[in-house]
Amino acid sequence: MPHTNDRTGTRGWIISASIIAVGLVIGGFLLGDGLVRMKAAERSVTVRGLAEREVTADLATWTLSFASTATDLQTAQANTDRDAVAVREFFDTLGFPDSALTPAGVNVSNYTDDGTVFYTVRQRVVLRTRDIERAQQAARRQAELVRRGVVLEDGSGISYTFTGLNAVKPEMVAEATKDARAAAEQFAKDSGANVGSIRNATQGYFSIDARDGEAGGWGVGDTPFKKVRVVTTIDFALD
């Protein structure tokens, strides 16, 4: 006749094994479900969206540098003073107000050649205007300065700047986002998925460059026609 203690021990072992087995099944189910949900969370696509816009510069800046060299400082100074007057008369003829021109400093240097001291006086005048058409006209007619006896130094080119970036930023970001979603939708279509919400987005930076590239050449290295460009990187969830 079996002992009561043996029966009790066997019954306890069976119950314990059953509990462990049920725990393993539940744990396996939960682990499997977690992997499925984790895999779903990994379903995404990262694409780039581009937006470009052609704009016209709204600010022209022209730094004109001219110099004179003589064996005495007074003569060199008088020559550059004469050139400064000629420069102002040139812009006055074109209809620019006096406030558009600003003196940008005077520089004096000297050197000795065969025992003779030479003095060089250099002056700079800056034209700053939002009248882009008039500024272009002045740049095209700069040869008239030469006829007035003013020889501009190398680097005295005009530059054009677009300052209205903040006004176009929101629309361009929206365009770049729309472009990125179109790319994501094409990818999703090819892979049999649907595009969901944005998981992460990086706007990138705005660049402003010459529309037709740098023209090159003295005095014509810039143009008022610009291209604004922004690239966004967006991570879309896939359903």
pTM: 0.72
- 74 & 146 share domain: yes
Q: Give the number of domains in the chain.
A: 3
Sign of CA dihedral 197, 200, 205, 207: negative
Question: What local confidence, expressed as pLDDT, does residue 41 receive?
Answer: 53
Identify the domain containing residue 95 by its residue range: 60-161
- 50 & 67 share domain: no
Cα 130 to Cα 154: distance, rounded to the nearest angstrom: 24
Cα 4 to Cα 124: distance, rounded to the nearest angstrom: 114
- 157 & 176 share domain: no
Residue 141 in contact with residue 91, Cβ under 8 Å?
Answer: no
Look up residue 36 and give its DSSP letter. H
CA-closest candidate to residue 149, choices 63, 78, 73, 222: 78
- 168 & 52 share domain: yes
Question: What local confidence, expressed as pLDDT, does residue 16 receive?
Answer: 55
Question: What local confidence, expressed as pLDDT, does residue 181 receive?
Answer: 92
Query: Quick one: which H or E segment has residue 95?
Result: none
Strand partners, 209: 227
- 117 & 94 share domain: yes
- 78 & 141 share domain: yes
Residue 231 in contact with residue 204, Cβ under 8 Å?
Answer: yes
- Mean pLDDT, each 10-residue run in order, the chain (239 residues): 52 52 46 43 83 96 95 95 96 95 93 93 96 94 92 89 94 94 89 88 90 57 89 91
- 28 & 52 share domain: no
- 176 & 222 share domain: yes
The sheet with strand 101-113 has its strands ordered as 101-113, 116-129, 59-70, 158-161
* Residue 169: strand, helix, or coil: helix
Tell me which amino acid residue 150 is.
V
Q: What is the CATH number of the domain that holds 193?
A: 3.30.110.170
Cα 184 to Cα 47: distance, rounded to the nearest angstrom: 6
CA dihedral 84, 89, 90, 92 (to 10 degrees): 130
Domain boundary among the residues 121, 144, 161 is at 161
- 135 & 175 share domain: no
